[in-house]
Amino acid sequence: MSRIGKLPIAIPEGVTVEVKDLTVTVKGKLGELTQEIKKEISVEIKDNVVIVNRANDEKQSRAYHGLFRSLINNMIVGVSEGYETKQELVGVGYKATVNGQLLELALGYTHPIYLLIAPEIKVEAETLKRGNPIVTFKSHDKQLIGQVAAKLRSLRKPEPYKGKGVKFVGEELRRKAGKTAG
């Protein structure tokens, strides 16, 4: 058995989980999420606990077992607590402003970059004095928030010499020494 797949998922108070055909729907105070599952996987709900089982012991079924258990767990945590991602814009003149769901970025290019954010995500941009701008994404959907954060990072990846670019808060970058004078 998969070590992750065999773990039961506790359903917190205020969250409902429904399994209909090959679709799992999770509803909570922060929203509603659905996930289609493969036919090799079965999902049962017993005593406020979700149990994920697999039909056979083939390699693909074993892989799906842990995957769908993690996806369902992420959905339950998302609709009950939510997820948050913070990214830091490191560089001279790097700015971020939010107008509704439109994120306007100045990342050292000759033109501003506009990023339209999905309505399920709340976005905030804050600039502290003598600090780097920080962009915060909050949502109940972990997959969507990860995609948006990866898209923002791809606009200007951190470079290894000075560390300029878009990085996650708390991320340790591998720095290179560069040229030595002399």
Phi, psi of 109, deg, nearest 5 = -90, 175
What's the sign of the alpha-carbon dihedral 69, 71, 72, 77?
Answer: positive
What's the pLDDT tens digit per position in 111-148? Answer: 999 999 999 999 999 998 889 999 999 999 999 999 99
Mean pLDDT of 90-102: 94
User: What pLDDT, on a 0 to 100 scale, did the predictor assign at position 146?
Assistant: 96
Of 95, 78, 110, 92, which is closest to residue 162 (Cα–Cα)?
Answer: 92
Least confident span in 13-17, 35-39, 115-119, 177-181: 177-181
CATH of residue 50's domain is 3.90.930.12
Identify whether 128 is part of a domain: yes
User: What pLDDT, on a 0 to 100 scale, did the predictor assign at position 182?
Assistant: 54
Which residues span the domain enclosing 141? 83-168
- Is the separation of the CB atoms in 148 and 117 below 8 Å? yes
- Residue 151's identity, in one-letter code, is K
What's the pLDDT tens digit per position in 28-50? Answer: 999 999 999 999 999 999 999 99
Q: What is the mean pLDDT of the chain?
A: 93
| Chain CA centroid to CA 54, Å | 26
Are 116 and 59 in the same domain? no
Identify whether 179 is part of a domain: no
Are 76 and 108 in the same domain? no
Model confidence at 92: pLDDT above 80: yes
Are 162 and 100 in the same domain? yes
Are 97 and 144 in the same domain? yes
Domain finish residue from 50, 65, 80: 80
User: What pLDDT, on a 0 to 100 scale, did the predictor assign at position 1?
Assistant: 54
**Could you tell me the pLDDT band of residue 20, with boundaries at 50, 70 and 90?**
very high
Domain finish residue from 18, 46, 80: 80
Are 18 and 75 in the same domain? yes
Model confidence at 91: pLDDT above 80: yes
Model confidence at 181: pLDDT above 70: no
Mean pLDDT of 161-182: 87
Are 93 and 75 in the same domain? no
What's the sign of the alpha-carbon dihedral 160, 161, 165, 169?
Answer: positive
CA–CA gap between residue 108 and residue 166 (Å, rounded) = 11
In this prediction, what percent of the chain has a pLDDT beyond 90? 84
Identify whether 2 is part of a domain: no
CA–CA gap between residue 150 and residue 66 (Å, rounded) = 24
Catalogue the E-assigned strands of 60-121: 83-90, 95-99, 102-106, 113-116
Which residue do the tokens 């004095």 mark? Answer: 129
Are 97 and 155 in the same domain? yes
Are 41 and 97 in the same domain? no
- How many domains does the chain divide into? 2
The torsion angle over the Cα atoms of residues 62, 64, 69 and 74, rounded to 10 degrees, is 140
pTM of the full structure: 0.89
Identify whether 111 is part of a domain: yes
Identify whether 178 is part of a domain: no
Are 66 and 114 in the same domain? no
Are 135 and 73 in the same domain? no
User: What pLDDT, on a 0 to 100 scale, did the predictor assign at position 10?
Assistant: 94
Are 32 and 64 in the same domain? yes
Are 21 and 52 in the same domain? yes
User: What pLDDT, on a 0 to 100 scale, did the predictor assign at position 128?
Assistant: 85
**Could you tell me the pLDDT band of residue 160, with boundaries at 50, 70 and 90?**
very high
Quote the Cα angle for 135-140-145, to 5°.
45
Domain finish residue from 49, 65, 80: 80
